[in-house]
């Protein structure tokens, strides 16, 4: 690894950097020549440059069909700057790298950057159920993702505390399910103490389309999550006939796991098929996330319909019933031409064919799924939950505090998505990972930025940069400069320790 003085100021750091000698001084009035390439205007905009005829630009773009998706080659020499890529994402990544170098010093070093992502799935998750965030806040979140080459936005749209997406066939989901009477005050669990302030909000289908289009322009795929069969209180408050008790139900005002779940009767699956059909029409993503986590079984155990299904299907217990339920959902998702993602509990009782496992309770679920031939996204609490405290709880804003877990920047940076016990073939099943932002204790855009910055920068490098190119002391130096820049731009970044 080169000495720190020889390292570029880039996050995430490139896969390969070769120093070539004399560099180039970036002018005050730069130009881009794109050989008629579609991304040329986007590159020019990113660099605040003008488009000029082919061959005469400060930066020359060249199509390179042989390069992998999202990859790029950036060459700086005394004759100018040259950027090669095979797709818009690659050109965008290269332009952002160049823009960051120019911002650090207009006297660019002679260098050849040959860069490519380590993982195809580099994600960030945002829970908008516990606290709703307006579309402009979501877009600012997406801007940060794109800046650091994160390409999958996992949008957690439904939960016990609020249903946040308009579904035309079921209008009560937003008329009733998007509103709760109040929110529990911080961590007052015994007794529950609420703030007395109603909380609500949802995204219209027009707003969803706009956000999806905006993300697409940044090279980000938006993956919707519709929770089932648990975390369903908001939906059940709107349509109590979908539950096992008949209700009444209320949109939850407190956190935690709730006993109320979807009952596995025909009406529920008609609901799921209709809802996911509308969702698929809004999101062109290859994936639909269906939750599947933290499903209490008590109501199924006492419900005649659930017990009758178990008898008819020869299911040994309620764990097997959950597996049967998720396999039915998988069939619906596959019928829409999409792949199902679920939290690692969907493994219990047997995995649905083709399901992708999001491993959050450590890495064991992901390891076992990979060994069974399933694709995996690694998101263990220990390294990826950005709702956790970043330092001493006594000196930090209120945050989540899973037993034994805080999550500082260095711990995020130490994350290795591919467990060493996997074979090469099994390791190929690890699509990547993501940072998860649960919002029980995040109610404002400012707090949201504080909780993700700078931890998202560490996650971006974990998921992009080859493991052998990463070193904490070097990242610590580069992130210090990056934090100052973000603060100058008005982001509410947590100060470095």
Question: How many residues can be counted in the chain?
Answer: 497
DSSP code at position 87: S
Q: What is the pLDDT of residue 427?
A: 98
- For residue 368, give Cα distances in angstroms to 293, 345, 373: 17, 12, 9
| Residues annotated as catalytic (active site), given as ranges | 159, 231, 294
Dihedral angle over CA of 82, 87, 92, 95, nearest 10? 0
In sequence order, what DSSP letters do the residues of 275-340 get, joined into one string? HHHHHHHH---SEEEEE--S---HHHHT-HHHHHHHHHHT--SHHHHHHHHHHHHHHHHHHTT-EE
CA dist 269 and 284 (Å) reads 22
Q: What is the pLDDT of residue 4?
A: 39
**Angle of the 318-335 helix axis to the 266-282 helix axis, nearest 10:** 40
Distance of CA 177 to the CA centre of its chain: 24
First and final C-alpha spacing in the chain: 25
- For residue 215, give Cα distances in angstroms to 154, 206, 227, 250, 259: 12, 14, 22, 33, 35
Rg (alpha carbons) of the chain, rounded to whole number: 24
In the chain, what's the furthest Cα-to-Cα distance? 78
Give the residue among 182, 202, 177 at the shortest CA–CA distance from 193: 182
CA dist 99 and 93 (Å) reads 10
**pLDDT tens digits, one per residue of 51-73:** 987 767 899 999 999 999 999 99
Q: What is the pLDDT of residue 2?
A: 41
Q: What is the pLDDT of residue 192?
A: 83
Peptide bond connecting 229 to the previous residue in cis, omega within 30 degrees of 0: yes
Q: What is the pLDDT of residue 57?
A: 84
Domain 121-467 in CATH 3.10.100.10: no
Identify the helix (H) or strand (E) that includes residue 478.
Answer: helix 472-488
DSSP code at position 78: T
What proportion of the chain, given as a percentage, has pLDDT over 70?
Answer: 99
CA dist 6 and 472 (Å) reads 16
In sequence order, what DSSP letters do the residues of 173-225 get, joined into one string? HHHTTTEES--EEEEEETTEEE----EE--B-HHHHHHHHHHHHHTT-EEEEE
CA dist 490 and 484 (Å) reads 10
SS (H, E, C) 383-414: HHECCECCCCHHHCCCCECCCCCCCCHHHHHC
Give the residue among 14, 7, 31, 10 at the shortest CA–CA distance from 80: 31
CA dist 107 and 24 (Å) reads 6
Low-confidence spans in the chain with pLDDT less than 70: 1-5, 55
**Checking DSSP bridges between strand 80-85 and strand 59-63, what pairing results, if any?**
parallel
- Looking at domain 4-115, its CATH superfamily turns out to be Chitobiase/beta-hexosaminidase domain 2-like (3.30.379.10)
Residue ranges per structural domain of the chain: 4-115, 121-467
**pLDDT tens digits, one per residue of 386-405:** 999 999 999 999 999 887 78
CA dist 471 and 469 (Å) reads 7
Q: What is the pLDDT of residue 7?
A: 87
- For residue 334, give Cα distances in angstroms to 236, 276, 340, 431: 25, 11, 7, 19
**What pTM was computed for the model?**
0.97
Q: Is the dihedral of CA 301, 440, 145, 415 positive or negative?
A: negative
Q: Which residues contact 385 (CB under 8 A, 6 or more apart)?
A: 379, 400, 402, 405, 407, 436, 438
Q: What is the pLDDT of residue 1?
A: 39
């Amino acid at each position: 690894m080169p000495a720190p003085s020889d390292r570029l100021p880039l996050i995430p750091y490139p896969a390969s950097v070769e120093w070539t000698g004399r560099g180039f001084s970036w002018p005050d009035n730069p130009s881009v020549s794109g050989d008629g390439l579609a991304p040329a205007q986007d590159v020019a905009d990113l660099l605040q440059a003008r488009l000029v005829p082919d061959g005469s630009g400060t930066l020359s773009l060249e199509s390179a069909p042989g390069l992998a998706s999202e990859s790029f080659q950036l060459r700086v020499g005394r004759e100018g700057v040259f950027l090669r890529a095979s797709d818009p994402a690659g050109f965008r990544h290269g332009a952002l790298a160049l823009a960051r170098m120019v911002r650090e010093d207009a006297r660019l070093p002679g260098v050849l950057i040959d860069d490519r992502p380590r993982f195809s799935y580099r994600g960030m998750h945002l829970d908008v159920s516990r606290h709703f965030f307006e579309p402009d806040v979501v877009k600012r979140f997406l801007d940060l993702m794109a800046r650091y080459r994160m390409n999958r936005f996992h949008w957690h749209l439904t939960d016990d505390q609020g249903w946040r997406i308009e579904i035309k066939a079921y209008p009560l989901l937003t008329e009733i399910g998007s509103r709760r009477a109040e929110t529990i005050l911080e961590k007052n669990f015994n007794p529950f103490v609420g703030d007395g302030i109603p909380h609500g909000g949802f995204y219209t289908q027009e707003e969803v389309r706009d956000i999806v289009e905006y993300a697409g322009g940044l090279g980000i795929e938006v993956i919707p999550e519709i929770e089932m069969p648990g975390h369903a209180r908001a939906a059940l408050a709107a349509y109590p006939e979908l539950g096992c008790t008949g209700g009444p139900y209320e949109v939850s005002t407190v956190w935690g796991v709730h006993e109320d779940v979807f009952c596995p009767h025909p009406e529920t699956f008609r609901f799921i098929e209709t809802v996911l059909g509308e969702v698929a029409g809004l999101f062109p993503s290859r994936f639909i996330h269906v939750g599947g986590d933290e499903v209490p079984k008590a109501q199924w155990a006492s419900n005649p319909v659930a017990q009758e299904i178990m008898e008819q299907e020869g299911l040994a217990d309620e764990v097997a019933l959950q597996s049967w339920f998720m396999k039915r959902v998988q069939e619906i998702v596959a019928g829409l031409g999409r792949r199902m993602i679920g939290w690692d509990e969907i493994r219990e009782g047997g995995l649905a064919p083709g399901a992708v496992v999001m491993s959050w309770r450590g890495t064991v679920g992901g390891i076992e799924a990979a060994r069974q031939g399933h694709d995996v996204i690694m998101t263990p609490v220990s390294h990826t939950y950005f709702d956790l405290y970043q330092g001493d709880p006594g000196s930090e804003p209120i945050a989540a505090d899973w037993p034994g877990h805080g999550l500082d920047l260095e711990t995020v940076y130490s994350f290795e998505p591919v467990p060493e016990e996997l074979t090469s073939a099994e390791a190929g099943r690890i699509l990547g990972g993501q940072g998860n932002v649960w919002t029980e204790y995040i109610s404002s855009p400012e707090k949201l930025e504080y909780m993700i910055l700078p931890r998202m920068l560490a996650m971006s490098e974990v998921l992009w940069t080859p493991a052998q190119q990463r070193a904490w002391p070097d990242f610590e130096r580069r992130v210090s400069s990056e934090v100052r820049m973000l603060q100058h731009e008005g982001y509410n970044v947590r100060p470095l320790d």
